[in-house]
Amino acid sequence: MLDAEGKPAHTAQRSLRLKDQLQAGDGPRSALAASAAPAEAGFERPVALARESVPVIVERVGQIIADQQAVLSRHLEQLTAAVGRIGDDEARQAEVESIAADADKRISAEADRRRAAEQRAREAVVAAERARANEEEALTAARELAARVEQVEAGAAAQAELDQGRVENAEAAERAAVEAMEQAKADAERQVREAAERAEAQVAAAEADAERRVAAHQAAADAQVREAREAADEARKDRDRQVRAAESDVARAEQARDDAKTAREELQRELTALRTKAEEDENRRREEVKAAERAAAQAREELAGATAQLQAERDAHERELNAAEERARHARTAAAEDVRAAYDAQLAELRAQLAAAAGDEGPGKRR
């Protein structure tokens, strides 16, 4: 949600500032004074305004009841003083005794007027009850708003309009309660004024009735004040509970933030350790690769040397083999020539022997 200036209406800084105000004792009055003009302040916190305005409404209704009680007490004191003056005035005793003759007839009329006054008093009590009911309704709405504050803050502008309507309803209830209290005050003042006017004519009957009505009104006023104070105390206790709950939520949020920060720092340390280990492993792998490359280069050099040596030995062996083959070929050629020469010599010798033998046989036959 954004305020009138386009800035976030709910931030951690503003929440902490509100918490500091509550702890410092500024309370909802300062918050209400700060947000008394929603159009000027941007109406940043409608829920907070509704929640903080309810105790102010209760306090204002209690103040109105206290003012009414003070007015009633003042008029009753004036009536008591007038009755006392009349009772102490011996000069008017005869007039009182003459009035006592028509007291019975006037008592009935006074009873009718008293019943009418009591009816108006009951109506005033009913109006006060309605005001208290409206106050309870406003308190209930405020509690519901406090319970749904997280959803309302996340619900944006639509929920803000609903909260504005509830605030307006609370203000309307406050105005109705003020009007009812003012009407009750006017009725009470009129009743006191009429009772004061009748007191001079009906002292004997009016004194007892006045004392009874004073006690009844005093008891009713005390009961109203007591109920209003109890309601105000309950609202104040509820506000304190809400403040403590808000402080507990803030503490839990801060603890969660600290835990998240600790976890993030631990994760960063682990990531740093893993990154360091990965870098070390990478460096070690690079060193191993370099060592393997050096060993491979050395092995290639040794292989090249061995290959060259083997090639040289093979070339020498081939040369020796070729030389041996050449010698064998020459030997075979020489042996073949020797065999052929021996064969030719033997053949020539045999031919010579045959020829000689043939020559020896020829002359013998001729003899």
pLDDT digits (tens, 9 = 90+) for 123-141: 766 766 776 777 677 667 6
pLDDT at 155: 62
Banded pLDDT at 98 (limits 50, 70, 90): low
pLDDT at 315: 87
List the structure tokens of 35. Answer: 């947000």
Choice among 78-92, 133-147, 217-231, 234-248 with the minimum mean pLDDT? 78-92
pLDDT at 346: 79
Higher pLDDT, 16 or 73: 73
Banded pLDDT at 263 (limits 50, 70, 90): confident
pLDDT at 222: 72
Measure the CA angle with vertex 233, ends 33 and 245; round to 5°: 70
Higher pLDDT, 27 or 173: 173
Higher pLDDT, 40 or 145: 145
pLDDT at 251: 78
Cα(25)–Cα(111) distance, integer angstroms: 52
pLDDT at 41: 42
List the structure tokens of 126. Answer: 């009913």
pLDDT at 34: 44
First to last CA, the chain: 166
Rg (CA), the chain: 64
Which of 172-176, 177-181, 194-198, 230-234 ranks highest by mean pLDDT?
230-234
Q: Any idea where the domains of the chain sit in the sequence?
A: 12-261
List the structure tokens of 161. Answer: 């309009």
pLDDT at 218: 67
Question: Is 319's pLDDT higher than 60?
Answer: yes
Choice among 53-62, 112-121, 223-232, 313-322 with the minimum mean pLDDT? 53-62
Cα(61)–Cα(68) distance, integer angstroms: 10
Backbone angles phi, psi at 2, to 5 degrees: -110, 150
Backbone angles phi, psi at 8, to 5 degrees: -60, 130
- The pTM of this model reads 0.23
